[in-house]
C-alpha cells in the first residue's frame, strides 16, 4: 500500500529541520572558535610585544644571560617564551633546554615575523604535544635593527574546551528545537490527516454508490471543511438526480413491460440497446441473458427485421411492414420502424404487433366467404338452370316441367337449409358463450330429437336405442341441446349402413350432462378427425351433399357446446363406427 502524502512529507520535513539546525550549529561553533582564537591571538601579540620590548633593552650576546632573562620574563605565566636568533638557532626557552632544541628558522611563525613583524601559527607542539598557538615578533635593539625573534606559545586546550562547551550547548539547544518542531509538525500533520482521511473514506463510499453517506469533520481547517461540504452537497445532488432518473427509468420499464406490443431499440452499430418483455417472448430470448453486443441477426435471427432496421437507418423515414417469424409455426408481426435520435446516438425504434390471430381470423373469414359463396352457388345455379329451361319451353311439357320444378324446389330447400344453418351459427356466435338456460328433463330432450329423426331412421331401417343414468332434471338451453342432438343423430343415421343400430346414452353425474351418440357406420378417417367440426368440412364432399348435408351440422354442435361452456369430442375407427360425446354443465352456472 502506498504511504499517505502526509507521511511521505513528514520524514522530508524532519530531515530539512535536522539539516538546518545542524548547519546552524556547525556555523555557530565555527564562528565561536574563530572568535576565541582571534582573542587569544591578540592577547598573545600583546604579551610577545611586551616581552620583545623588554628583551630588546638587553644585550643578548650570551646565551646564558638570554636564558636567564627569558626565565625571568615568563616566571609565573603558563605561556612559554622562546627566543630565536634570526638564523633560527634557539637562544633561550622558558620551558626547555635551548641547546637540545632544533633550528627554528623554518617555523611558519618565525619566518612570518621576520618578514612582516608578526607571525602566527596553530599546531600541535613538538615539545609539549598539545594543540598550541604560536605568536612571534621581531626583537629590535636600541638602534631598531632586528636582533632576534621572540615567540610565545600558549596551549589551546582551554580555548578548545570552551568552544567544545559552546558546541555542546548549541547541540542541546538544536536537539530541543528539532524535537519540539518535529512534535508540532506531527501534531499539525495529525490534525490535517484525520479530516483528509474522513474525506477520502467518504469519497470511496460515493465511488461504491453509497450516496447517503455524509462526511462529518471535527475541528478541521476551514479549507478542508469546505471541501467536505462541497463533496456532501455533490453527493446529495447526485443521489437526487440518480433517484429521479431511476424513477423515470422504472416508469418507462413498467410501461414497456405492460405493453402487448414488442418494443426493440437498436443502436446505430446494430446492437440491441433494449427490448421489452413482449419482444423477448416473441423471439423466445431471455432479457436477462441478453449480451450487450447482441444484434437482430445474431440473437433474434431474423433477416427481415434486420432489413427493416437497416432501411430506417439508411433513409431516416419510418417503415411499416409485415415480418414472419418461424417459431413453432409461423407468427406474423406487423413492424413499425422509426428513426431515433438521442444524446446517446442515433438508432431505430421497432414496434412489433403480433397479428397472427388477426391474420388467421382474416383467413378464416375469407375462407368462410369463399365457402359460403361456393355452397350457395351450386343450388342457385341449378335453380337458375331449370327455371331457364322451363321458360324456354319445358313448361309446356308437363312431365319434364314437373321434374324440373321438383329439382328447383329441392335446391331452393337446400338453399334455405344452408341459410338457416348459417343464421343459427351466427346467432350462436353472438351468444358469446352465455346461452340462456331453463330447467328441463333429459328425457324430453331425447324424445324430441328421436321424434324428428325417426322418419329417416325408419327409411334406412335403423334402430335408435337409448339409455340414461343419473337424475333427469338439468339446467340447459333446451332448444339448443335438442338441435345439437338432432344433428348428431342425423349424422349417425346418414353415415350408417341399412339395418344398423344408433345408440343415444345420456348421463347426469357430478353436475355434468353427458350425451353420447354412437353408431356402427363407416367411421371417420383419423386424419380428418381434427377438422370435422370446421364449417363446411366434409370427409366426402359428394356423398355428404347427396345425403343432403350442409357441412355445418357439426360446427353448430360445437358452438352449442361452447355456448354452454361445454365441449364436444369424437372417437372414431374407420369401418367400425363413431361416437360423438357432448359434455356440459347440467346446473345453472351462477347457481353453483
Ligand atoms: P354434413 O352436413 O356434411 O353432415 P356435418 O358438419 O354434420 O356436415 O359433418 C361434417 C362431416 O363429418 C360429414 O360430411 C361427414 O363426412 C363427417 N361425419 C359426421 N358425422 C359422422 C358420422 N357419424 N359418421 C361418419 N362421418 C361423419
Q: Give tens-digit pLDDT for 54-73.
A: 888 887 777 778 888 888 88
Give 567 Cα–ligand 1 centroid separation in angstroms: 17
pLDDT, position 59: 78
What is the percent of the chain where pLDDT is above 70?
Answer: 98
Asked if pLDDT for residue 458 goes beyond 70, the answer is yes
3-state secondary structure of 268: coil
Number of neighbours of residue 227 by Cβ within 10 angstroms? 18
Give 422 Cα–ligand 1 centroid separation in angstroms: 16
Asked if pLDDT for residue 145 goes beyond 60, the answer is yes
Number of neighbours of residue 379 by Cβ within 10 angstroms? 21
Q: Predicted confidence band at 297 (pLDDT cuts at 50, 70, 90)?
A: confident
C-alpha cell at 56: 630588546
Give 581 Cα–ligand 1 centroid separation in angstroms: 14
pLDDT, position 134: 93
- From the CA of 496, give the closest atom in ligand 1: 24
Asked if pLDDT for residue 427 goes beyond 50, the answer is yes
Q: Give tens-digit pLDDT for 536-560.
A: 888 887 777 777 788 889 999 999 9
Phi and psi for 106 in degrees, rounded to 5?
-100, 0
Q: Give tens-digit pLDDT for 274-285.
A: 899 999 998 888
pTM: 0.51
* Backbone angle region of 566, left / alpha / beta, with phi > 0 → left and psi within -120 to 50 → alpha: beta
Q: What is the DSSP letter of 534?
A: S
Q: Predicted confidence band at 588 (pLDDT cuts at 50, 70, 90)?
A: low
Phi and psi for 192 in degrees, rounded to 5?
-80, -35
Asked if pLDDT for residue 365 goes beyond 50, the answer is yes
Give 433 Cα–ligand 1 centroid separation in angstroms: 24
User: How far is residue 364's CA from residue 555's CA, in Å, rounded to a whole number?
Assistant: 14
Give 572 Cα–ligand 1 centroid separation in angstroms: 12
Q: Give tens-digit pLDDT for 72-99.
A: 888 888 888 999 988 888 989 888 888 8
Q: Rounded to 5 degrees, what angle do the CA atoms 558, 559, 564 make?
A: 100
User: How far is residue 383's CA from residue 165's CA, in Å, rounded to a whole number?
Assistant: 150
Asked if pLDDT for residue 431 goes beyond 90, the answer is no
User: How far is residue 407's CA from residue 386's CA, in Å, rounded to a whole number?
Assistant: 8
Overall average pLDDT of the 237-244 stretch? 92
- CB-facing half-sphere around the CA of 51: CA atoms within 13 A: 34
Residues 133 and 120: beta-carbon distance below 8 Å:
yes
C-alpha cell at 245: 432518473
Q: Are strands 501-509 and 463-469 parallel, antiparallel or unpaired?
A: parallel
pLDDT, position 591: 43
Indicate the Cα dihedral angle 225, 231, 233, 237, nearest 10°.
180
Name residues contacting ligand 1 (CB within 6 A): 487, 491-492, 495, 519, 521, 523-524, 532, 537-540, 544, 549-555, 578
Instruction: Give 115: exposed, middle or buried? Use CB within 10 Å, 0-12, 13-18, 19+.
Output: exposed
Asked if pLDDT for residue 290 goes beyond 60, the answer is yes
Instruction: Give 163: exposed, middle or buried? Use CB within 10 Å, 0-12, 13-18, 19+.
Output: buried
Residues 95 and 80: beta-carbon distance below 8 Å:
yes
Low-confidence winner among 83-87, 156-160, 343-347, 475-479 (lowest mean pLDDT): 343-347
Residues 488 and 517: beta-carbon distance below 8 Å:
yes
Give the chain's mean pLDDT: 88
Nearest Cα to Cα of residue 486 among 446, 530, 532, 525: 446
pLDDT, position 589: 47
Asked if pLDDT for residue 345 goes beyond 80, the answer is no
- From the CA of 522, give the closest atom in ligand 1: 25
Nearest Cα to Cα of residue 219 among 195, 185, 199: 195
Q: Name the residue at shortest CA distance from atom 14 of ligand 1.
A: 538
Give 541 Cα–ligand 1 centroid separation in angstroms: 10
Separation in Å, CA 102 to CA 65, 138, 141, 484: 20, 19, 25, 160
User: How far is residue 586's CA from residue 509's CA, in Å, rounded to a whole number?
Assistant: 9
Asked if pLDDT for residue 31 goes beyond 60, the answer is yes
Asked if pLDDT for residue 572 goes beyond 80, the answer is yes
pLDDT, position 144: 82
What is the percent of the chain where pLDDT is above 90?
Answer: 41
pLDDT, position 5: 64
pLDDT, position 485: 95
pLDDT, position 327: 81
Overall average pLDDT of the 495-524 stretch? 94
- From the CA of 487, give the closest atom in ligand 1: 7
Overall average pLDDT of the 287-300 stretch? 85
Please report which helix (H) or strand (E) contains residue 59, including its range: none
Q: Name the residue at shortest CA distance from atom 4 of ligand 1.
A: 549
Asked if pLDDT for residue 432 goes beyond 70, the answer is no
From 417, 532, 547, 571, give the residue whose CB has the most ligand 1 atoms within 8 Å, as the site to mutate: 532
Nearest Cα to Cα of residue 156 among 137, 135, 172, 138: 135
User: How far is residue 521's CA from residue 483's CA, in Å, rounded to a whole number?
Assistant: 21
Asked if pLDDT for residue 372 goes beyond 90, the answer is no
Instruction: Indicate the angle between helix axes 553-563 and 398-430, nearest 10 degrees.
Output: 20
Q: Give tens-digit pLDDT for 196-232.
A: 888 889 999 988 988 888 888 877 788 888 999 999 9
pLDDT, position 250: 92
pLDDT, position 317: 92
Separation in Å, CA 120 to CA 45, 83, 260: 9, 15, 114
From 462, 544, 578, give the residue whose CB has the most ligand 1 atoms within 8 Å, as the site to mutate: 544
pLDDT, position 592: 41
Q: Which of 119-133, 369-383, 478-492 has the highest mean pLDDT?
A: 478-492
Give 393 Cα–ligand 1 centroid separation in angstroms: 40
From 538, 547, 572, give the residue whose CB has the most ligand 1 atoms within 8 Å, as the site to mutate: 538
Asked if pLDDT for residue 583 goes beyond 90, the answer is yes
Amino acid at each position: 500500500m502506498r504511504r499517505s502524502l502526509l507521511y511521505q512529507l513528514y520524514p522530508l520535513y524532519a530531515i530539512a529541520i535536522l539539516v538546518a539546525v545542524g548547519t546552524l550549529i556547525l556555523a555557530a561553533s565555527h564562528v565561536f572558535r574563530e572568535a576565541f582564537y582571534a582573542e587569544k591571538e591578540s592577547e598573545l601579540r600583546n604579551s610577545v610585544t611586551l616581552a620583545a620590548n623588554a628583551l630588546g633593552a638587553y644585550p643578548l650576546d650570551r646565551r646564558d644571560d638570554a636564558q636567564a632573562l627569558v626565565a625571568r620574563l615568563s616566571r609565573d605565566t603558563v605561556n612559554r617564551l622562546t627566543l630565536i636568533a634570526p638564523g633560527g638557532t634557539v637562544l633561550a626557552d622558558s620551558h626547555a633546554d635551548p641547546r637540545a632544541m632544533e633550528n627554528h628558522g623554518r617555523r611558519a611563525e618565525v619566518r612570518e615575523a621576520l618578514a612582516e613583524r608578526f607571525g602566527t601559527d596553530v599546531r600541535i607542539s613538538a615539545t609539549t604535544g598539545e594543540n598550541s598557538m604560536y605568536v612571534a615578533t621581531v626583537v629590535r635593539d636600541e638602534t631598531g635593527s632586528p636582533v632576534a625573534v621572540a615567540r610565545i606559545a600558549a596551549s589551546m586546550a582551554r580555548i578548545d574546551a570552551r568552544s567544545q562547551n559552546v558546541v555542546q550547548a548549541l547541540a542541546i539547544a538544536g536537539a530541543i528545537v528539532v524535537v519540539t518542531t518535529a512534535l508540532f509538525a506531527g501534531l499539525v500533520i495529525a490534525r490535517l490527516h484525520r479530516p483528509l482521511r474522513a474525506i477520502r473514506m467518504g469519497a470511496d463510499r460515493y465511488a461504491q454508490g453509497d450516496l447517503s453517506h455524509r462526511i462529518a469533520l471535527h475541528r478541521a481547517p476551514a479549507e478542508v471543511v469546505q471541501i467536505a461540504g462541497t463533496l456532501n452537497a455533490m453527493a446529495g445532488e447526485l443521489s437526487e438526480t440518480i433517484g429521479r432518473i431511476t424513477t423515470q427509468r422504472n416508469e418507462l420499464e413498467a410501461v414497456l413491460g405492460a405493453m402487448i406490443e414488442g418494443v426493440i431499440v437498436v443502436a446505430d452499430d446494430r446492437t440491441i440497446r433494449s427490448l421489452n418483455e413482449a419482444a423477448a417472448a416473441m423471439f423466445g430470448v431471455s432479457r436477462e441473458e441478453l449480451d450487450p453486443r447482441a444484434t437482430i441477426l445474431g440473437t433474434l435471427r431474423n433477416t427481415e427485421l434486420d432489413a427493416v432496421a437497416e432501411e430506417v437507418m439508411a433513409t431516416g423515414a419510418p417503415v411499416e411492414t409485415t415480418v414472419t417469424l418461424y417459431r413453432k409455426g409461423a407468427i406474423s408481426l406487423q413492424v413499425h420502424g422509426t428513426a431515433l435520435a438521442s444524446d446517446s446516438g442515433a438508432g431505430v425504434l421497432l414496434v412489433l404487433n403480433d397479428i397472427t390471430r388477426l391474420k388467421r381470423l382474416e383467413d378464416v373469414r375469407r375462407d368462410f366467404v369463399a365457402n359460403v359463396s361456393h355452397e350457395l352457388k351450386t343450388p342457385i345455379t341449378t335453380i337458375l338452370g331449370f327455371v331457364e329451361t322451363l321458360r324456354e319451353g319445358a313448361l309446356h311439357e308437363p312431365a319434364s316441367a314437373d321434374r324440373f320444378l321438383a329439382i328447383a324446389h329441392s335446391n331452393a330447400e337446400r338453399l334455405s337449409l344452408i341459410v338457416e344453418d348459417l343464421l343459427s351459427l351466427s346467432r350462436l356466435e353472438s351468444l358469446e358463450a352465455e346461452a340462456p338456460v331453463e330447467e328441463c328433463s333429459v328425457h324430453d330432450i331425447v324424445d324430441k330429437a328421436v321424434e324428428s329423426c325417426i322418419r329417416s331412421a325408419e327409411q334406412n331401417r335403423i334402430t335408435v336405442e337409448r339409455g340414461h343414468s343419473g337424475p333427469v332434471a338439468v339446467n340447459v338451453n333446451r332448444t339448443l341441446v335438442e338441435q345439437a342432438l338432432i344433428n348428431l343423430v342425423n349424422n349417425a343415421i346418414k353415415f350408417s349402413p341399412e339395418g344398423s343400430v344408433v345408440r343415444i346414452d345420456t348421463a347426469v353425474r357430478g353436475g355434468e350432462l353427458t350425451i353420447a351418440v354412437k353408431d356402427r357406420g363407416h367411421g371417420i378417417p383419423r386424419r380428418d378427425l381434427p377438422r370435422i367440426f370446421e364449417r363446411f368440412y366434409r370427409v366426402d364432399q359428394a356423398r355428404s351433399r347427396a345425403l343432403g348435408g350442409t357441412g355445418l351440422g357439426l360446427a353448430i354442435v360445437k358452438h352449442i357446446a361452447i355456448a354452454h361452456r361445454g365441449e364436444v369430442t369424437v372417437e372414431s375407427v374407420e369401418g367400425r363406427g363413431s361416437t360423438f360425446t357432448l359434455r356440459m354443465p347440467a346446473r345453472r352456472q351462477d347457481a353453483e
